A and B are shown apart, each in its own frame.
Chain A
Amino acid sequence: MENNKFVIAVYVDNKSGVLTRVTGMFTRRAFNIDTLTVGETERSEYSRITICMRGDEYVKEQIINQLKKLVVVKKVEVLENEPIKRELMLIKVRNDSAMRNDIMTAVDVFRASVIDYSPEGMCIEVTGSPSKIDAFVKLMEPFGILEMCRTGIVALDRGTVTLFSRD
């Protein structure tokens, strides 16, 4: 079966130790995660975990069912139908007078912004779909990437659909 990328959104109790329970299950059952993000939601009692991973239908079904069994998990959904996905990256590149203009053009085109600037280096913030981030990284490679850090994706369904309105 095909190994497709998919995004899972999970509402969990907003309590300490919850992330360990979720990630521990993934390790224990040998599921590999591409990215995982966690943060507050519109409901203070819950956090939302967004997991991006690859697998066939069988893996997907197992992951969903194993997640549902965790006591701290309140709601699990696979975000099908092309959800809105965004990722944020901070990337530090060498600031070199010969390349500065090229870097600034890329920043412009990608609607990124320079958030720290020194004569030797600059830090750029870029937000967008994972593929846009990938493209920006590729573009920066020739200039010398000093350090970079990506958040992993957050995702929401399109339209007025919410995780809790699905059932």
Chain B
Amino acid sequence: MQLNGAQILIQTLIEQGVTDVFGYPGGQVINIYDALYEYKDKINHVLTAHEQGASHAADGYSRATGKVGVCIATSGPGATNLVTGIATAMLDSIPLVAITGNVPCSLIGKDSFQEIDITGVTLPITKHNFFVSDIAELADTIRQAFQIAKSGRPGPVLVDIPKNVQVGKYEYEPQAVTEKMPLPKVKDSQIDEAVKLIKEAQKPYIYVGGGAAGLGLGKAIVDFANKIDAAIGCSFMGLSAIPQDYERFLGMQGMHGHYASSMAQDQADLIIGIGVRFSDRATGNVAKFAKQSKIIQLDPDCAEINKNVRVDLGLVGDVADTFVRMAEKCESKSSPAWLAQVKKLQDEEKALEEEIAAANNAPLTPKQVFDVINGLKKPNTIITTDVGQHQMWAAQYVTFDNTRRFVSSGGLGTMGFGLGAAMGAYTATKDPVVLITGDGSFGMNLNELATAVTYKIPVVIVLMNNGVLGMVRQWQTLFFGKRYSNTVLDRKTDFVALAKAFGADGYLAETVVEFKKAFEKAIASTDKPVVIDARIDKDELVLPMLPPGGAISDMITKI
């Protein structure tokens, strides 16, 4: 059938299984929005307050489900407003298709009104991008964009469509959803090498990352840990991939990781990395990382092998397939000494935590906030966060009951990510969503509260309000002689009134009792967001902490 370019775009999105998109209209996408109007019974468009919110929403949508998230923005500032969201998705390998309009081809290169070379701008922050200059290539380009976004190591793809292509007419024939491109299969001989390394190891540590989240491997990894007497830890991005109640799941390791998890990784003689990239925040000083350990790394991306850390064996291919084959071939073995060593670390961690908790007599502590959340949150709750101290506390304290339940900006560390992401996660799943944020991060994109109210998204916003930019301030406390340069937010914002002004509910919580009451009321909300202004002390620290460039031996566990 003959359709215009905008209709072809929307038809192709529908054909590729897209049911929800996030975006903001403008002059160079007006035709696309006209087509969206036409197909509104088939595709739900969420109008955000700002294009950045749309990009984070599409990202959160994807993180919660594994589906490709889609956002739309107009040319120029609309497109550049997507940039932070696209980069966030890139650093965390999230499949996204960002669609931008542009000025007609006849005006390209003339610095026309709202013209920007967005494929140039996003070149380093997309897996690939396209400028569609010919309507004949439009549908196939969209299909290819989806295929690239979800294949191998996923990532964002941007498609820039000039106005004349949206307006032009062309033949459209629906096609099937594009399949992922197949990954190479790891050779049997390599699996055998892995099995040999595992057999020789006395102290195995399974290190789970974002590449394993969403593969449904949680139970299989636990079974494998039982089979070979391994401890399990995870990177920040690997949170929620492993069933939390497993006794030897030590939680996140790294800069703000759990004591036992980081120590066990340091003391292990074999690290089996599943979908991890050994980022600097995870390894600390790379020259001193895992010195006594051999490393096996399973990853779909060949360039991740030996990039940050030299590994003894890199297994490049489909992670789930590689893992299952490797786990099957391994024989059962027992390492009681290692298990005792791990248990000792866990006991030490518990004692440390109790000591720190006992020394803190603030009316509401971060630990208490998360104890309440863990105790009251509904099954299958998705926790989204912004970036800073609250994010690290969430990573340390939240107990997850399912995979894809932790939605947070890891690699890029994007303050302002959380609210948009929460809206996306809710739109995708309709599961309960709790946003953990801080007064700094929330201030960056709180405009999306308007969107959450309009779309009746009952996200519970736990605003850990300490009146400071806590994470930077923590560095200033520890490494800059308490010279608090520009980290004290001397603001007079009344967040309860602000929530109400947006049409949401708001509660103030200054004690743990008040917080519990507020949280109980908040999770009962079914049709509007709720902000809980939870006051915590400005001097709370995220501990443990590896000082920047430090090794595990430099870990700060208490002040």
Contacts and interface: CB of A to CB of B under 8 A. Distances in A.
Given A17-B119, A71-B148, A66 B303 contact: yes
Interface in B437-451: none
A14 B104 CA distance: 24
Contact of B305 (A28, A65, A69, A71): A65
Given A17-B119, A71-B148, A62 B303 contact: yes
B124 A58 contact: no
B124 A24 contact: yes
Contacts of A65: 302-303, 305
Given A71-B127, A71-B128, A71-B148, A58 B303 contact: no
B301 A69 contact: yes
B124 A62 contact: no
Contacts, number: 28
A24 B307 contact: no
Interface in A61-88: 61-62, 65-66, 68-72
B123 interface: yes
Contacts of B127: 71
B334 interface: no
Interface in B97-126: 119-120, 123-124
Contacts of B148: 71
Contact of B306 (A28, A61, A70): A61
A20 B123 contact: yes
A85 B302 CA distance: 29
A69 B124 contact: no
B303 A28 contact: no
A88 B124 CA distance: 33
Contacts of A150: none
Contacts of B124: 24, 28
A100 interface: no
A21 interface: yes
Given A71-B128, A71-B148, A62 B306 contact: yes
B93 to A, nearest CB: 12
Interface string A50-64: 000000001001100
Contacts of B131: 17
A61 B314 CA distance: 13
23 contacts: A17-B119, A17-B131, A20-B120, A20-B123, A24-B124, A28-B124, A58-B306, A58-B310, A61-B306, A62-B303, A62-B306, A62-B307, A65-B302, A65-B303, A65-B305, A68-B303, A69-B301, A69-B302, A69-B303, A70-B128, A71-B127, A71-B128, A72-B128
Q: Which 8 A-B pairs have the closest CB atoms?
A: A65-B303, A71-B128, A65-B302, A66-B303, A28-B124, A24-B123, A69-B303, A61-B306
A106 B128 CA distance: 50
Contacts of A21: 123
Interface in A8-57: 17, 20-21, 24, 28
A74 to B, nearest CB: 14
B50 to A, nearest CB: 27
Contacts of B310: 58
A65 B307 CA distance: 10
Contacts of B301: 69
Interface of A: 17, 20-21, 24, 28, 58, 61-62, 65-66, 68-72
Nearest to B310: A58
A28 to B, nearest CB: 5
Contacts of B302: 65, 68-69
Contacts of A28: 124
Contacts of B119: 17
Nearest to B128: A71
A20 B301 CA distance: 22
Nearest to B307: A62
B509 to A, nearest CB: 45
Nearest to A69: B303
Contacts of A17: 119, 131
B129 to A, nearest CB: 9
A70 B127 CA distance: 8
A28 B124 CA distance: 8
Interface centre among A21, A62, A68, A69 (most CB of B within 10 A): A69
A71 B141 CA distance: 13
Nearest to A27: B124
A68 B304 CA distance: 12
A82 B127 CA distance: 34
B142 to A, nearest CB: 15
A69 B301 CA distance: 8
A63 to B, nearest CB: 9
A58 B305 CA distance: 10
A28 B123 CA distance: 10
Nearest to A65: B303
A59 B357 CA distance: 47
Interface string B117-152: 001100110011001000000000000000010000
Contacts of A58: 306, 310
Nearest to B127: A71
Contacts of B128: 70-72
Interface in B285-315: 301-303, 305-307, 310
Contacts of B305: 65
A10 to B, nearest CB: 15
B272 to A, nearest CB: 21
A62 B40 CA distance: 46
